[in-house]
Structure 1
Amino acid sequence: MHSFRKPSAETVRKFLDAQARLDFTYSPVGATADPFPPPSFRLNHTRERIGTGREAFERAKTALRRWDQFRIGWAEIQPADAPIREGEVVAIVARRLGVWWVNACRVIYVIDEDDPAEPRARFGFAYGTLPDHVGSGEERFLVDWDAETDAVFYDVRAYSRPNLILARLGYPYMRRSQRRFGFESVAAMARSMAAQGMATPTK
């Protein structure tokens, strides 16, 4: 869905109610858990260190739960308080080239691994595209803490291909926007962690 005005919360709610009854636009669903994308999809991958230690990991988890990685100025998640759980349907509302785009996704899986006996802790989730989305594919957001090095990383892995006709015509621009989102979401995560009371290390 697209318009020249930012859609109201009610418009987005009705949009999501309709999309929630529909199926994913691609297969295999859940492939972001694998290191390589399926054939015919393009991979985008951003991985950056965003902190050190258990406290940084906890703050990064909080940031993901609040969808703070989308606080980048030109995109947002609606509803803003959507819980991170399997089956949850959300809208990515973004303004590009003077047009507001509303894209529907459904959370596929949630990762929550934090066993004190293990040297690594991870938290994150992936969502996949529903029919009214400019692209087709899947995106995973993950924070992980390596207890041995004490480093906390933020990792965004996505595979996609164009879905709607406009996306096919403007696919190079779509790819640039996806790469830009990856880098800007790193900065958004760092801002969220700092706002929670902890400065993140500089690279």
Structure 2
Amino acid sequence: MELLELHRYESKKLNFIFFVQHNKEMVFLCWARPSPQEQKSCIDRSGAFNYDAKYRGATAKPLSCLKEDKELSHEGFALNHARVLVGSGIEAYEKGKNALQAWRHFGLNWAFVDPKTPVQNGAKFCVCVKEFLPWVMMPLKVVYVDEKSTKQSKASFCFGSGTLQGHLLAGEERFSIELDENDQVWYEILSFSKPAHVLSFIGYPYVMLRQKYFSHQSTNAVLKHLNPLQS
């Protein structure tokens, strides 16, 4: 196992630590719920995308295309997918779209994104996740934002984000809301990822379980936003 070096940054406004491997891979940890300043510091210290440019924007494709991509699986990426019916009608679709734009799908007590983060191409942000004692801050960058109508759907809104250096995983994730031809509204999560740090490599089975758990919790958060009286 590669030796991990521990670095600590501390001031009156910031108090977080980060591990650095000898190959410069990092993971950002924070003892308390990360403040906007701490998230900004994490983003400033993160690097470029940590996955190959040829896969940039791949989550914009349908699930079937990613399943058929042998190169993706050959390079060790695993798929995670969830698609759940959350309502019906144009009003529910617009509420779902607003939920994604306001990061309501991350409105959890153990995971969040700063709701002021703009959902626009090129925006950088942190996904903050509570894991045991510390919080983990994982930097990403929005790769694409798309809203359209097709033969299969009356309207759809989605955006995809790619992992940056300093993230525990390497890969990309898409969140989408769709109003189909039957006026049903669907919330979908699609991602591909693989370990990008020795810590995630060791605990990858746990990481995959957490991805499934997040999908379930995120769906509940969207449902709560669309149907507040039923929550």
Residues 180, 119 of structure 1: alpha-carbon distance in 2 compared, 3 angstrom cutoff? closer
- Taking the TM superposition and a 5 Å limit, the aligned residue runs for 1:134-145 are 134-145=168-179
1:16 deviation in Å? Answer: 1.5
For the pair 1:155 / 2:188, whether they are aligned, the reply is yes
- What residue in structure 2 maps to residue 25 of structure 1? 50
| Structure 1: distance between partners of 2:230 and 2:203 | 38
Contact 2:153 2:178 in 1 (8 A): no
For the pair 1:185 / 2:221, whether they are aligned, the reply is no
Contact 1:122 1:144 in 2 (8 A): yes
1:55 deviation in Å? Answer: 0.6
Name the SS for the 1:174 alignment partner. Answer: helix
Question: For the pair shown, which has the larger CA radius of gyration, 1 or 2?
Answer: 2
| Structure 2: distance between partners of 1:160 and 1:55 | 33
1:63 deviation in Å? Answer: 0.4
Name the SS for the 1:138 alignment partner. Answer: strand
1:168 deviation in Å? Answer: 0.6
Percent identity reads: 31
1:199 deviation in Å? Answer: 5.5
- What residue in structure 2 maps to residue 81 of structure 1? 116
| Structure 1: distance between partners of 2:152 and 2:207 | 39
From 69, 72, 81, the counterpart of 1:45? 81
Name the SS for the 1:133 alignment partner. Answer: coil
Name the SS for the 1:182 alignment partner. Answer: helix
Name the SS for the 1:121 alignment partner. Answer: strand
For the pair 1:131 / 2:165, whether they are aligned, the reply is yes
1:164 deviation in Å? Answer: 1.2
Contact 1:193 1:199 in 2 (8 A): no
- What residue in structure 1 maps to residue 198 of structure 2? 165
Counterpart amino acid of residue 177 in structure 1 = R
Unaligned runs of 5+ in 2: 1-27
| Structure 1: distance between partners of 2:213 and 2:78 | 15
Deviating runs (4+, > 3 A) in structure 1?
A: none
Name the SS for the 2:120 alignment partner. Answer: coil
Unaligned runs of 5+ in 1: none
| Structure 2: distance between partners of 1:98 and 1:173 | 16
- What residue in structure 1 maps to residue 146 of structure 2? 111
TM norm structure 2: 0.78
TM norm structure 1: 0.89
Residues 52, 169 of structure 1: alpha-carbon distance in 2 compared, 3 angstrom cutoff? same
CA RMSD of aligned residues (A): 1.9
1:149 deviation in Å? Answer: 1.0
Deviations 1:46-93 (A, max 9, x none): 000000011110000010000000012100003x21111000000001
| Structure 1: distance between partners of 2:41 and 2:133 | 23
| Structure 1: distance between partners of 2:212 and 2:159 | 19
- What residue in structure 1 maps to residue 12 of structure 2? none
Counterpart amino acid of residue 71 in structure 1 = G
Name the SS for the 2:217 alignment partner. Answer: helix
Deviations 1:114-173 (A, max 9, x none): 48x985210010000000111110000000001x31100000001110111111111111
Counterpart amino acid of residue 25 in structure 1 = N
Name the SS for the 1:5 alignment partner. Answer: coil
